[in-house]
Amino acid sequence: MVQFMGTPPEARLPLSMNDFYFREIRLVPSYSCGPLETRAALRHIADGVVSASHVVTHRFPLSAASEAYRVAAQEKTALKTLVTFNDTHAPDDTTT
């Protein structure tokens, strides 16, 4: 799993250390921008300069992660493709 965005300080990830070890799960943070840039982006969203719904163009449940990767790599309409950890979104459920 690659984490592309920071989380609130209180966010926790319950994890089975047995699965972590034997399934060779990797958790990799990926730096994308710093706190100043993140705050500026959030201000733009709050001020209505940009809408978060325009940034995330496709949402997929974790069970469709391979399709999400395909869409992100191949579809010209995919700006940001989001994989969620609950299966409430159908594959290719685009945000409007």
Using the predicted structure, report yes or no on whether residue 91 has a pLDDT greater than 60: no
Q: Is the pLDDT of residue 92 over 60?
A: no
Residue in the structure block whose two tokens are 């309409």? 77
HSE of 1, CA atoms in CB hemisphere, 13 A: 13
Q: Is 86 helix (H, G, I), strand (E, B) or coil?
A: coil
Q: Look up the pTM and report it.
A: 0.48
